[in-house]
């Protein structure tokens, strides 16, 4: 798909794309090259109308161990102002603001920057082997707070980021960090199935829901409801929406007629 990469694999099927982090020897550590390749890939997918959803994964055994510590250690003497760390926000922004749904399929560890990567996605499907954690404070660094708090709330996000204790898959499901937990042999197919289903939904409606989820929680209740109704009115007036409603009513009537026959 598009072009070959050194640190990620990209494939397309049934209206969605699967991006696989591909540095297995380094436990999918997020090197500068990988970050740039993710930026490049997501930008191209954003221009491709055939891509309606994205799954990002590290494979069955490890999602990502975080930022490449060897790179950070080598840069530390010449990067006292954190220029390298600031540059990492670019690939996260590309995914966080992507206009179509992004699903993280997490197997094995998702630590530090890997945890950040999962939380800038819209949904997380986890293997029973998944372990999430933010050990950054032990190295004198801070985790990303905003994406995590949108999943688990402010109080729980403070606990996770300040204490840095690992979170297993079952606990992640209990606190609302992940959407589903499945056996290792099933979690990837579940993520693909969800992406396939999203790809079949009306594109503008899906994009509107994603935008609303980013905006309405910042508004007062009255303004939030007004904004949602305005978006609903705009969608209702689209030819695509009316066609979908017409098809649904026709199918419903056909089922009723079939059931009414003796």
Residue 226 sits in a domain whose CATH number is 1.10.12
- Lowest model confidence (mean pLDDT) among 82-91, 156-165, 196-205, 247-256: 247-256
145 in any annotated domain:
yes
More confident residue, 41 or 244: 41
Q: 119 falls in which pLDDT band (50, 70, 90)?
A: very high
pLDDT digits (tens, 9 = 90+) for 179-216: 999 999 999 999 999 999 999 887 877 777 777 777 66
More confident residue, 76 or 162: 162
C-alpha to C-alpha distance for 22 and 37, rounded to whole angstroms: 11
- Tell whether 221 and 135 lie within a shared domain: no
Do the beta carbons of residue 167 and residue 133 sit within 8 Å? yes
- The DSSP code sequence of the chain is --S--SSEEEEEETTEEEEEE--GGGTT-B-HHHHHHHHHHHHHHHT-TT--EEEEE--SSEEE--B-HHHHHHHGGG-TT-HHHHHTHHHHHHHHT-SS-EEEEE-SEEETHHHHHHHTSSEEEEETT-EEE--GGGGT-----HHHHHHH-HHHHHHHHHH---EEHHHHHHTTS-SEEE-TTTHHHHHHHHHHHHHHS-HHHHHHHHHHHHHGGGS-HHHHHHHHHHHHHHHHTSHHHHHHHHHHHHHHHHHHHHHH--
- Tell whether 219 and 176 lie within a shared domain: no
pLDDT score recorded for residue 70? 80
3 in any annotated domain:
no
Q: What is the domain range of residue 131? A: 8-200
- Tell whether 98 and 187 lie within a shared domain: yes
Q: Token pair for residue 114? A: 């890997």
Task: Quote the pTM value.
Answer: 0.84
- Predicted confidence (pLDDT) at residue 235 exceeds the cutoff of 60: no
Q: 160 falls in which pLDDT band (50, 70, 90)?
A: very high
- Predicted confidence (pLDDT) at residue 252 exceeds the cutoff of 80: no
Q: Report the chain's mean pLDDT, rounded to a whole number.
A: 85
């Amino acid at each position: 798909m598009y072009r070959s990469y050194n640190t990620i694999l990209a494939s397309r099927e049934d209206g969605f794309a699967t991006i696989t982090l591909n540095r297995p020897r380094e436990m999918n550590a997020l090197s500068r090259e990988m970050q740039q390749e993710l930026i490049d890939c997501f930008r191209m997918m954003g221009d491709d109308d055939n891509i309606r959803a994205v799954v990002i994964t590290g494979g069955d055994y490890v999602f990502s161990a975080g930022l490449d510590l060897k790179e950070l250690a080598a840069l530390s003497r010449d990067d006292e102002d954190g220029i390298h760390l600031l540059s990492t926000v670019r690939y996260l922004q590309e995914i966080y603001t992507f206009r179509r749904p992004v699903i993280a399929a997490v197997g094995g560890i998702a630590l530090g920057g890997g945890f950040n990567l999962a939380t800038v996605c819209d949904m997380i499907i986890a293997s029973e082997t998944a372990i999430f954690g933010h050990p950054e404070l032990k190295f004198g660094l801070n985790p990303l707070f905003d994406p995590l708090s949108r999943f688990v709330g402010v109080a729980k996000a403070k606990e996770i980021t300040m204490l840095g204790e690992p979170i297993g898959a079952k606990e992640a499901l209990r606190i609302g960090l992940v959407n589903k937990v499945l056996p290792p042999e099933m979690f990837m197919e579940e993520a693909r199935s969800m992406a396939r289903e999203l790809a079949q939904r009306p594109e503008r409606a899906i994009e509107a829901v994603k935008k609303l989820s980013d905006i309405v929680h910042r508004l007062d209740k009255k303004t939030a409801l007004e904004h949602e109704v305005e978006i609903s009115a705009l969608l209702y007036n689209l030819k695509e929406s009316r066609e979908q409603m017409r098809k649904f009513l026709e199918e419903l009537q056909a089922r009723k007629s079939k059931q009414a026959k003796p």
